[in-house]
Amino acid sequence: MEQIIIHVDMDAFYASVEMRDDPSLIGKPVIIGAPPDTRGVVSTCNYEARKYGVHSAMNIKEAYRLCPDGVFLTPDFRKYHAVSDQIHAIWEEYAGAMEAIALDEAYLDVTETAGTFDRARGFAHEIKKRVLDETGLSCSVGLAYSKIAAKTASEENKPNGYFEILTAEDFVNLMMDRDVRDIYTVGVKTAEKLHAAGIHTMRDIRENSSDVISMLGKHGQMIVDLAYGHDDSRVVAYRPEDAKSISRELTFQEDVFDFWLLADVLLLLSVSVVNRARSYGLCGNGVSLKVTYSDMKGVTRSKVVKYCDDPLTVHREAVSMLEEVSTRPIRLIGVGVYNVTPARAKQMTLDQMAGGKDSDTELDKAFEVLSKRYKMDLVKGGDIGWDNLHSLAEHMRTHRGQRGSDYTIYCIEQAGLERVLSDRDGIQIVSGHHPSDDLFLIAPLFFDMDVHHVRAPHGE
């Protein structure tokens, strides 16, 4: 059966939400992202800012150079998620299947619910009106015979636009003499390869089909198919429970060389990852670590860990892997779980039945120590959300020099267990073995002391 697909894309979503909530921003270039004097990128910007050449994913300092008089705002993800829930609820009413590919964008398969393009056209205009009436925001809508044609259509008349491409012939006629970069799925690097081969337009692709396939393989075949208007991809409703991995990462505003700070930040990331997995009824069976250095070179490490369903397990394994990587200035760190499977009921241990410590109690204790160490408030058992993860990590980075002086670090050295004391930043470094093997392995956060290997490469 012929498909009937609607693609909906909100117009400059984050910026539009901010302008809706603060009308004084209307008419001004609004740029959402990192502060302009910090490391980061543009998340999005309104159309006034785009006139200056600012665009999504641009380095924030470059955006400031192009538009110094712009209004720079940091993202409010809680607010954006709340609005996203509103618009998704509207869209779902019209779709047999909805594939949300971002907070502000989705494909709607209305083949069954509309039945004809005439009725689907009515759906499209009704969606635009309801989104505007119920949220105060505009969206652009494309109606087409396929997913990629619908995506192309929604881009035609932005902002607040509507366009339709009802047949493959219509798609080809529209795109024939446009640059290959305008074909959805053709990225910058692919376009560069095609341009280098003298292939600049969709017409060129049709005239050099075998060369394109030879050069790009399966992706090349897909591009050639699109050049003839062929696209049989289907709308697939996203289900979180189908995820294969779940991860979180963050970029520091300044490179970090402090191992213990990185270990502490890994706890926040571990909590965020596990809470997200739990919200979907999932758990991981492996832990991964990602590190990117100041020179943009990166490493990843992973370890199989059966049923790692609590933050402390994930954190312990992540810290263990961090010990194995080169200690150079780090700009980005991330942690994840993989081989994700449905969570299952977990039996209580004998210690727990006897009133011993469970993982939640240990996590609360860890949060207490972090709160004291960095002079900040962490809610016991609270979620570390995407919106506050970066701010917490930055607070820790900028306050790490204020850590208390009551930390003892126990280490094992190859040459026996003699006791060696040194005063370094108020931290007592002791050679020897702490009574608890668990504490020794964790780097920890669970008592008012750090327990970890003393590593020579800390730059001192």
The one-letter amino acid at 41: V
Q: How confident is the model at residue 358 (pLDDT cuts 50, 70, 90)?
A: low
Which of these, 288, 187, 186, 280, lies nearest to 238 by C-alpha position? Answer: 280
CB 186 within 8 A of CB 180: yes
CATH architecture under which domain 1-157 falls: 2-Layer Sandwich (3.30)
The answer as to CATH 3.40.30.10 being correct for domain 171-227 is: no
**Considering only 263-272, 387-396, 442-451, which range has the smallest mean pLDDT?**
442-451
Which of these, 336, 326, 303, 322, lies nearest to 261 by C-alpha position? Answer: 322
Q: What is the pLDDT of residues 129-144, one digit of tens each?
A: 999 999 999 999 999 9
Phi, psi of 448 (to 5 degrees): -80, 50
Residue 428 pLDDT = 40
Residue 401 pLDDT = 62
Residue with tokens 């619910």: 113
Percent of the chain with pLDDT over 90: 62
Asked, colleague to colleague, whether 1-157 and 241-345+357-398 share their fold, the answer is no
CB 438 within 8 A of CB 410: no
Element (H, E) at 62: helix 60-66
Active site residue 105: yes
Whole-number Å distance between alpha carbons of 290 and 334 = 5
**So where are the chain's domains?**
1-157, 171-227, 241-345+357-398
Q: How confident is the model at residue 42 (pLDDT cuts 50, 70, 90)?
A: very high
Tell me which of 449 and 70 has the higher pLDDT: 70
Q: What is the pLDDT of residues 189-226, one digit of tens each?
A: 999 999 999 999 999 999 999 999 999 999 999 999 99
Whole-number Å distance between alpha carbons of 451 and 409 = 5
Whole-number Å distance between alpha carbons of 168 and 315 = 51
Residue 353 pLDDT > 70: no
Average pLDDT over residues 326-335: 90
Q: How far, in Å, are 164, 260, 401, 439, 457 from residue 323 at the CA level?
A: 55, 11, 22, 15, 11
Q: How far, in Å, are 169, 264, 428 from residue 397 at the CA level?
A: 57, 10, 21
**Residue 290, token pair as written in the block:** 């990602």
Average pLDDT over residues 31-53: 92
Give pTM, 2 decimals: 0.70
**Considering only 40-49, 123-132, 179-188, 371-380, which range has the smallest mean pLDDT?**
371-380
Residue 290 pLDDT = 96
Q: How confident is the model at residue 350 (pLDDT cuts 50, 70, 90)?
A: very low
Residue 46 pLDDT > 90: yes
* 28: Cα within 13 Å, side-chain hemisphere: 18
Residue 309 pLDDT = 86
Whole-number Å distance between alpha carbons of 72 and 50 = 13
Sign, CA torsion 326/328/329/331 = negative
CB 159 within 8 A of CB 140: yes
Residue 185 pLDDT > 50: yes
Residue 402 pLDDT = 54
Question: How many other CB atoms are found less than 10 A from the CB of residue 95?
Answer: 24
Phi, psi of 224 (to 5 degrees): -65, -45
Q: What is the pLDDT of residues 94-130, one digit of tens each?
A: 999 999 999 999 999 999 999 999 999 999 999 999 9
Q: What is the pLDDT of residues 281-321, one digit of tens each?
A: 899 999 999 999 998 899 999 999 988 888 999 999 999 99
Q: How confident is the model at residue 1 (pLDDT cuts 50, 70, 90)?
A: low
Residue 11 pLDDT = 96
Element (H, E) at 85: helix 77-92
Whole-number Å distance between alpha carbons of 3 and 231 = 10
CATH top-level class of 241-345+357-398:
alpha beta
**Which residue among the candidates 105, 164, 317, 362 is catalytic per the annotation?**
105
Sign, CA torsion 28/31/34/39 = negative
